């Protein structure tokens, strides 16, 4: 069936397989299936709504609302919510059921849930088990990392997002197993490289796109197993090194110019319709080892998934953001691991099952509208019921939610604990203050960044100036730089300066938010278009994230393999 999105009015399709899935994931209460209806928002508006529940990158200094110690948190000092430090949140000194509320039949259920959210402690940041990495979020198993987000098992990395198993990687997006590198985007297995886009197993290279197994390449596109190439021209090692010394003086200006050059070369290169490997019957982008999954992005090992992002090992899921660790049969949920047979949840993990409209749940079963419970079952608004009472009341609540149109929808944007501009929604679907309020969002008006009253420092063009002068290093570390784009002040950390000096990278002149935004525009939106291969004579069709009006030549897998590889 074709439906019209309630928010943006665009038409979208709901297939028979989709309807079957909604039925399969619907709760069975007292032997009766209480069906979840087809969505009323288009896939993109649903992504946007889910994204408003993730403040990934905006960190504040605040205090733990339990032990009062200073903490770094995703809740601004003016937030009405109760952030707890990791130690307090995971401790036994509080129990979610102590916040239990009675269900009031005459009040919309999700309004009551919102009241509960305001009372129950919330994790200051979503980053367990890290070492010396206070300023990170959505991240686990990291050591000596700073301002990395949605990133696991990295060491000495900073200013990056969606990086996995990386060492000494700065300013990068969506990379795996890379080291000693800077400004990588969509790369795996790359070493000692800078400014690479969609490259794999490529070392000692700069400003390259879609290169594989290459070494010592500069401004190259679509090369395989090559060495000593500049703009795809094969040179001798001596000539290569001589030319590189002229082409690459390691200044911000030359880096910007070479990057602009690369983007021009990239535009004229044929592109594969998808980034990914070892997929079977899949669509989306940046996916690997997936099967029967559609409209999925930045994911590994998904099966029978749809409209899902940043997943790893999940099956039978729709509309999930960060579903990991054997999650299965889940609809519209955000941040989950090992979650089963559930819908409309946030941060549920550790074997939870049959949860609806719940958040921050650890090992719970059969709960509805709950927050911050550990190993509980048959709870509603954190209140304990018998199984019989639970079933009866859940059926009643679902009936009432049906009458207001809330049943079958994710938490409304108005329940997000953050300002729209604090969330990842604003990175992918930027709105003005007024536009955000119009769709039910809030807006964070205050900045809370520490005031900088000193004089701004203007970095030297050449990093060598710092390598040879300890007093220059001190001056740089002791002051702030004014972002050349946004005017926002930012500081250079010692860890960062050491990295730049080792890799001969000029001191950045833009704030890390601007650098993040620049990497983000290199990636396509989370949306697929049905198109035909643009190679002459080929009529293969596919779903691709490249829209019809894009200038690039988009090829089917066969044509791409023949022409580029
Ligand atoms: Zn829409
Ligand atoms: Zn605490
Ligand atoms: Zn083709």
Q: What is the pLDDT of residues 435-482, one digit of tens each?
A: 999 999 999 999 898 888 889 999 999 999 999 999 999 999 999 999
| Position 353 in a domain | no
In terms of Cβ atoms closer than 10 Å to its own Cβ (0-12, 13-18, 19+), residue 549 is exposed
Separation of 560 CA from ligand 3 center, angstroms? 7
Residue 247 belongs to domain spanning: 154-272
Q: Which residues contact 532 (CB under 8 A, 6 or more apart)?
A: 538, 539, 540, 541
Which CA distances in Å does 393 have to 62, 104, 364, 369?
Answer: 39, 11, 18, 12
Separation of 565 CA from ligand 3 center, angstroms? 14
Residues, beta carbon < 5 Å, ion ligand 2: 64, 66-67, 85, 88
pLDDT value at residue 9: 97
pLDDT value at residue 451: 82
pLDDT value at residue 401: 98
Question: Which one of the ligands is nearest to 439 CA?
Answer: 1
Separation of 64 CA from ligand 2 center, angstroms? 5
| Position 222 in a domain | yes
Assess whether pLDDT exceeds 80 at residue 286.
Answer: yes
Q: Which residues contact 315 (CB under 8 A, 6 or more apart)?
A: 302, 303, 304, 305, 326, 327, 328, 329
Mean pLDDT for 229-257 is: 96
Mean pLDDT for 112-134 is: 96
Question: What's the gap between Cα 152 and its chain centre?
Answer: 12
Q: How many whole angstroms separate alpha carbon 360 and alpha carbon 222? A: 45
Q: How many whole angstroms separate alpha carbon 140 and alpha carbon 164? A: 10
Separation of 73 CA from ligand 2 center, angstroms? 12
Separation of 186 CA from ligand 3 center, angstroms? 23
Separation of 146 CA from ligand 2 center, angstroms? 21
Q: Report H helices in 335-483.
A: 387-404, 425-428, 433-438, 464-467, 470-477
| Position 374 in a domain | no
Q: Report H helices in 345-423.
A: 387-404
| Position 395 in a domain | no
| Position 32 in a domain | no
Question: Which one of the ligands is nearest to 73 CA?
Answer: 2
pLDDT value at residue 450: 81
| Position 311 in a domain | no
Tens of pLDDT, residue by residue over 175-219, are 999 999 999 999 999 999 999 999 999 999 999 999 999 999 999
Q: How many whole angstroms separate alpha carbon 367 and alpha carbon 390? A: 8
pLDDT value at residue 99: 98
pLDDT value at residue 380: 98
Separation of 90 CA from ligand 2 center, angstroms? 10
Q: What DSSP state is assigned to residue 548?
A: T
- What is the count of structural domains for the chain? 1
Question: Which one of the ligands is nearest to 537 CA?
Answer: 3
Q: What DSSP state is assigned to residue 143?
A: B
pLDDT value at residue 557: 94
pLDDT value at residue 452: 86
Q: Tokens at residue 321, please?
A: 């953001």
Residue 446: strand, helix, or coil: coil
pLDDT, mean over the chain = 97
Separation of 83 CA from ligand 1 center, angstroms? 32
Mean pLDDT for 250-262 is: 96
Mean pLDDT for 152-168 is: 97
Tens of pLDDT, residue by residue over 41-88, are 999 999 999 999 999 999 999 999 999 999 999 999 999 999 999 999
Q: Is 207 left (phi over 0), alpha (psi -120 to 50) or beta?
A: left
Separation of 471 CA from ligand 1 center, angstroms? 55
Assess whether pLDDT exceeds 80 at residue 516.
Answer: yes
Please spell the DSSP secondary structure of 493-505, one letter per residue. Answer: -HHHHHHHHHHT-
CA dihedral 80, 84, 89, 92 (to 10 degrees): -90
pTM, two decimal places: 0.95
Question: Which one of the ligands is nearest to 559 CA?
Answer: 3
Assess whether pLDDT exceeds 90 at residue 223.
Answer: yes
| Position 259 in a domain | yes
Separation of 114 CA from ligand 2 center, angstroms? 23
Other beta carbons less than 10 A from residue 255's beta carbon:
21
Q: Is 471 left (phi over 0), alpha (psi -120 to 50) or beta?
A: alpha
Rg (CA), the chain: 25
Task: Assess contact for 115 and 65: CB atoms under 8 A.
Answer: no
Assess whether pLDDT exceeds 80 at residue 565.
Answer: no
| Position 261 in a domain | yes
Separation of 137 CA from ligand 2 center, angstroms? 17
pLDDT value at residue 449: 85
Question: Which one of the ligands is nearest to 66 CA?
Answer: 2
């Amino acid at each position: 069936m074709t439906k019209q999105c309630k928010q943006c009015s665009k038409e979208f399709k709901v297939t028979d397989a989709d309807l079957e899935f909604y039925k399969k994931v619907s709760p069975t209460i007292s032997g009766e299936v209480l069906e979840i209806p087809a969505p009323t928002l288009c896939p993109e508006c649903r992504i946007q709504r889910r994204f408003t529940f993730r403040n990934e990158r905006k960190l504040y200094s605040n205090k733990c609302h339990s032990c009062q110690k200073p903490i770094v948190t995703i809740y601004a000092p003016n937030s009405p919510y109760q952030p707890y430090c990791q130690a307090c949140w995971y401790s036994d000194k509080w129990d979610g059921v102590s916040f239990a509320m009675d269900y009031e039949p005459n009040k919309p259920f999700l309004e009551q849930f919102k009241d509960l959210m305001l009372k129950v402690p919330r994790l200051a940041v979503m980053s367990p088990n890290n070492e010396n990495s206070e300023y990170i979020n959505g991240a686990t198993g990291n050591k000596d990392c700073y301002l990395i987000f949605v990133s696991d098992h990295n060491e000495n990395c900073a200013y990056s997002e969606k990086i996995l198993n990386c060492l000494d990687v700065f300013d990068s997006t969506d990379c795996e197993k890379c080291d000693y590198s800077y400004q990588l985007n969509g790369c795996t297995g790359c070493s000692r490289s800078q400014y690479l886009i969609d490259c794999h197993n490529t070392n000692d290279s700069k400003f390259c796109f879609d290169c594989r197994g290459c070494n010592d390449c500069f401004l190259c596109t679509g090369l395989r197993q090559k060495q000593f190439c500049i703009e795809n021209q094969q040179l001798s090692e001596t000539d290569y090194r001589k030319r590189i010394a002229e082409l690459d003086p390691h200044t911000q200006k030359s880096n910007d110019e070479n990057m602009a050059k690369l983007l021009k070369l990239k535009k004229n290169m044929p592109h594969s319709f998808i980034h990914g490997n070892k997929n079977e019957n899949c669509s989306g982008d940046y996916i690997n080892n997936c099967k029967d999954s559609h409209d999925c992005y930045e994911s590994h090992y998904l099966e029978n998934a749809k409209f899902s992002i940043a997943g790893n090992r999940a099956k039978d899921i729709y509309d999930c953001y960060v579903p990991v660790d054997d999650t299965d049969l889940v609809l519209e949920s955000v941040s989950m691991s090992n979650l089963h047979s559930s819908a409309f949840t946030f941060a549920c993990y550790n074997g939870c099952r049959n949860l609806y409209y719940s958040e921050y749940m650890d090992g719970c079963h059969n709960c509805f509208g709950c927050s911050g419970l550990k190993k509980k079952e048959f709870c509603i608004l954190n209140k304990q019921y018998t199984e019989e009472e639970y079933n009866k009341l859940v059926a009643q609540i679902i009936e009432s939610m049906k009458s207001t149109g809330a049943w079958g929808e994710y938490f409304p944007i108005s329940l997000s604990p953050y300002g729209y501009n604090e969330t990842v929604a604003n990175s992918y679907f930027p709105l003005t203050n007024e536009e955000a309020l119009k769709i039910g969002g809030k807006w964070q008006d205050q900045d809370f960044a520490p005031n900088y009253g000193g004089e701004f420092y203007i970095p030297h063009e050449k990093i060598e100036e710092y390598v040879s002068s300890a007093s220059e290093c001190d001056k740089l570390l002791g002051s702030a730089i004014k972002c050349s784009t946004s005017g926002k002040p930012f500081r250079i950390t010692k860890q960062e300066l050491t990295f730049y000096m080792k890799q001969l990278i000029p001191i950045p002149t833009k704030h890390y938010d601007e650098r993040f935004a620049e990497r983000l525009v290199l990636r396509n939106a989370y949306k697929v278009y049905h198109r035909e291969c643009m190679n002459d004579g080929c009529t293969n069709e596919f779903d691709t994230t490249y829209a019809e009006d894009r200038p690039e030549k988009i090829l089917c897998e066969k044509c791409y393999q023949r022409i580029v590889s």
